[in-house]
Amino acid sequence: LGKYLINLNLPFWPAAIKLYSGMLIFLIIGYIFLYIVDKPAKKSLNISGVEIFNTMINQWLYNIGTFNFSLGIGTKKDIMIKILALKGKRLKAIFVEPGIHYGPFAGTGGATATEYLGGIILKRYGANPFILHGTVNHSSNPISTSEIGMIGKELEKEINNIREENFEEARGGIGFGEEGACKAIAIKINDAKLITLTKAPMVTEDIGDDVGEEFIKIAGEKSIIIDAHNSRIESANKEELKGVYSGSKYVELYKKAIREALNLKRNQKLFFGSYSIKLSNLIKNAEDIGKGYTSVGIFKFGNERFAMIYFDANNMLPSLRESIINHVKDKYNMRCEVYTTDTHSVNSLNRPFTNVLGRKTKPSILLPILDIAIENALSNMEEVKSTYRSFVIHNFAIWGEDAEEKLIETSKEILIRVKHVIPIVIAAGFVIAAWLIYFL
């Protein structure tokens, strides 16, 4: 065929017609490819299937790919950003609960939030960042990474408005509550409260924002409810993996645990120390660790100490949590809880489900690095002052219900089409082009 096509004795116009006919066939194949790839995404989400496919290829081959959803998907919501700042001789730590979920996939929506917001706090203000996982689920994923930039700008404005006179001597205490599988830890600092919720070693997954509002009614408006997100077993039943939602049997159990944890009468000075590190820079090929900061905060009221160990990861194996808690208790004689941000930066369209901490990174690697962070936090313990702030961003674009599930199903359909339909179309195109060139 090639010899025939480049035959110099063939008249120009017949050769040109044959050549352009073949090119036209391949142009048509290109349009068919775009149609086949684009159709499922346009049908279910009204977004570009080609962009989804391109993102999948980038994440699969190069572990990169940012996709901003701008059309056809999502809804608007008012989100509340809550801030608790602790200050000693200088600003020591800033706890932020931005009212969003940190997903769905690497480079997409809220998956960049923990690294980006943590970077602002540490680099701009020299404070250790604690980017908290609030009572949110996948429906609260930001629709694009540009929304994270919006949160960052508003966060900076709010922090910049904090004055020395806004801080007051930090006093309070820590309480623990437990009801059935549900545990609550309440750290009271003046009028503000950090309230941790976990069912570990049982599965601890997302808590719906409507359930979170019920908990706030019990704890008070200046409370930050933290989903510790620190235990996941893939073999657990689907009901457990769904998390805690309105009507779940765990809602009332958590309420009782919160009330018990809040039943503390102590009002002692708070001494606090903290330290942050980027584990992704220290552990090679750490596929189960995000690029944000792992932060350790140690709270001391009187003789009681408690360590908050916050990983930038997407949940963790319960066995790893237990190893860390036992290690801290045995070595430092200190109670602690282990948390993850639930960042989905460790997930991709090709690996949409959890990539929990502990699958790749073992305690033998993690504990020596944690010791460095804990010892640094202990070394800078000091009496602190605190201030609590909150503000609302109106009409914030989020995914809404079922959008992520639709995207996963759409991605699967695109892959099936690419694997099975496209090769047939291309092969047919070659045959037709060859026939036209040879017989026309």
Q: Which of 138-147, 202-211, 414-423 has the lowest mean pLDDT?
A: 414-423
Q: How far apart are the C-alpha atoms of 288 and 361, rounded to whole Å?
A: 7
If one compares 87 and 413, the residue with the highest pLDDT of the two is: 87
Share of the chain above pLDDT 90, in %: 62
Nearest by Cα to 74 from 401, 411, 392, 412: 401
CB 310 within 8 A of CB 277: no
Q: Which of 73-77, 88-92, 195-199, 282-286 has the lowest mean pLDDT?
A: 73-77
How far is the CA of 322 from the CAs of 46, 166, 363, in angstroms?
45, 39, 10
- Give φ, ψ of 47 to 5 degrees: -130, 175
If one compares 14 and 173, the residue with the highest pLDDT of the two is: 173
If one compares 58 and 310, the residue with the highest pLDDT of the two is: 310
Contacts of residue 255, Cβ cutoff 8 Å, sequence gap at least 6: 214, 215, 218
- Of these ranges, 143-147, 287-291, 298-302, 424-428, the one predicted with the greatest mean pLDDT is 298-302
CB 5 within 8 A of CB 19: yes
pLDDT-derived band at 59, boundaries 50, 70, 90: very low
Handedness of CA 345, 347, 348, 349 (dihedral sign): negative
Token pair in block for residue 69: 């959803």
Q: Could you give the count of Cα atoms lying within 13 Å of 166 in the half-sphere of its Cβ?
A: 15
pLDDT tens readout for residues 325-383: 999 999 999 999 999 999 988 876 555 456 899 999 999 999 999 999 999 999 999 99
CB 43 within 8 A of CB 33: no
pLDDT-derived band at 144, boundaries 50, 70, 90: confident
Q: What DSSP element (H or E) covers 315? A: none
DSSP 8-class letter at 120: I
pLDDT-derived band at 416, boundaries 50, 70, 90: low
What would the 3-class secondary structure string for 125-193 be?
HCCEEEECCCCCCHHHCECCHHHHHHHHHHHHHHHHCCCHHHCEECEEEEEEEEECCEEEEEEEECCEE
Q: How far apart are the C-alpha atoms of 365 and 378, rounded to whole Å?
A: 21
Instruction: Say whether pLDDT at 401 is over 80.
Output: no
pLDDT tens readout for residues 39-51: 555 555 555 555 5
Residue 92, classed as helix, strand or coil, is: strand
| CA 274 and chain centroid, separation | 22
Instruction: Say whether pLDDT at 87 is over 80.
Output: yes
Q: How far apart are the C-alpha atoms of 47 and 50, rounded to whole Å?
A: 9
pLDDT-derived band at 241, boundaries 50, 70, 90: confident
How far is the CA of 124 from the CAs of 128, 129, 159, in angstroms?
11, 11, 10
CB-based burial label for 179 (10 Å; 0-12, 13-18, 19+)? middle
Q: Which of 217-231, 262-276, 405-419 has the lowest mean pLDDT?
A: 405-419
Q: How far apart are the C-alpha atoms of 136 and 292, rounded to whole Å?
A: 19
CA geometry: angle 211, 159, 394, nearest 5 deg: 45
If one compares 295 and 103, the residue with the highest pLDDT of the two is: 295
pLDDT in the model for residue 61: 45
pLDDT tens readout for residues 18-40: 666 767 766 776 666 666 655 55
CA geometry: angle 201, 300, 262, nearest 5 deg: 60
Instruction: Say whether pLDDT at 54 is over 60.
Output: no
Please state the pTM of the whole predicted model. 0.81
pLDDT in the model for residue 409: 63
If one compares 120 and 66, the residue with the highest pLDDT of the two is: 120
**Summary mean pLDDT of the chain:** 85
CB 192 within 8 A of CB 386: yes
Residue 243, classed as helix, strand or coil, is: coil
| CA 101 and chain centroid, separation | 6
Handedness of CA 17, 20, 22, 25 (dihedral sign): negative
DSSP 8-class letter at 267: -
